[in-house]
Amino acid sequence: MNAGLTIKHYIEENAARIEAELLESLPGIWGIPETLRESMMYSLMAGGKRLRPMLVLATVEALRGSTEAAMPVACAIEMIHTYSLIHDDLPAMDNDDYRRGKLTNHKVYGEAMAILAGDALLTHAFYSIVQAYRAYEVPAERIVDIIEDLSRLAGASGMVGGQAADMQGEQGITKLEELEYIHLHKTSDLVVFSLKAGGHLAGATAKQQQALEKFGYKIGLAFQIQDDILDVIGDESVLGKPVKSDEKQQKVTYPYFLGIEASKDKVRELTEQGKRAIIDAHFPYSDRLLELADFLTQRDR
């Protein structure tokens, strides 16, 4: 548990642990064509905060479960997140050449390989989840619950649905509710999945699962609004990407609808509501989950 670590060190330590697992996540014995393997690993190891897998681990800790047995599921959610970034960056979608200061997947490996690397990472996420059963004897019923949640929250009515709505709405979002639909599904659904998966792994009660879901939707939205705020006011050198890029792309954001100050209030309010749900559900050790909520929504990058 390392309860003595500051949240910053806790995050660094867990990110390193997750990256070590991700490096081993494609079995070397498999006959994967070399360029496909390279393309998958290029994006999987391209940095990123590893927040979603960290939420899996923090939830398991909150229930005093085994974070070792949770690792294959933590890796799976990062594969899903990575595949979605590869496909979102494609010329037919957001047409981005850079992500986190590195060339995007299709700029290095070409469009065809980028599409296939995304497909392969999405498929392999399910294989990874099954390994929590094979290698760590997580009961099959819990694995099936996790897979059902993932296939719903990452699919047509979840993350992919959010991306589809974003694509279609780019020219014409006129209401805050439309923006909330996109954020809810593009961002919050995977955050909620990470928390619920941790709950399934460590045997959360129904009441605790409800609290995790509420917490996830609140901090997922707060995280996204904070992203929008940083895009307007953030320091470009700290952020690592051009500020006001949303404005230049004419993307509609929270500050556009509410203004900066009301957006900041909304972040604080959502974070408090989320934390309150966790506190009220009496987890054995929820400190890290609560600290992560503050960290995610108060970050400057």
Residues of this chain that interact with a copy of itself (CB under 8 A) are 26, 30-33, 35-37, 40, 83, 87, 90, 92-93, 110-113, 115-116, 118-120, 122-127, 130, 133-134, 139-141, 143-144, 147-148, 150-152, 154-157, 160-161, 163-165, 167-168
Task: State which H helix or E strand residue 257 sits in.
Answer: helix 254-258
Distance from C-alpha of 261 to C-alpha of 235, rounded to nearest angstrom: 17
**Max CA-CA distance within the chain?**
54
Contact yes or no for 132/201 (Cβ under 8 A): yes
d(CA 33, CA 289): 40
Phi-psi region of 110 (alpha: psi -120 to 50; beta: other; left: phi over 0): left
Q: Kindly give the interhelix angle for 67-89 and 189-201, rounded to the nearest 10 degrees.
A: 160
CB of residue 93 to a copy of itself, shortest distance in Å: 5
Written as six digits, the tokens of 105 are 């997947």
Give 141 or 261: the residue with its C-beta nearer to a copy of itself: 141
Specify the residue, 3 or 29, whose C-beta has the smaller distance to a copy of itself: 29
Shortest distance (Å) from residue 64 CB to a copy of itself: 24
Residue with tokens 């079995």: 27
- Determine phi and psi for 251, rounding to 5 degrees: -80, 140
Measured from the CB atom, is 17 or 81 closer to a copy of itself?
81
Query: Which CB, 165 or 278, lies closer to a copy of itself?
Result: 165
- CA neighbor of 52 nearest in space, from 226, 284, 219: 219
Rounded to a whole number of angstroms, the minimum distance from the CB of residue 54 to a copy of itself is 23
For the CB of residue 91, give the shortest distance to a copy of itself in the complex, in Å: 8
Nearer to a copy of itself, 7 or 130 (CB): 130
CB of 278 to a copy of itself, least distance (A): 26
Nearer to a copy of itself by Cβ, of 3 and 112: the residue is 112
Least CB distance from residue 76 to a copy of itself, whole Å? 10
Q: Do residues 77 and 194 lie in contact, with contact meaning Cβ atoms separated by under 8 Å?
A: yes
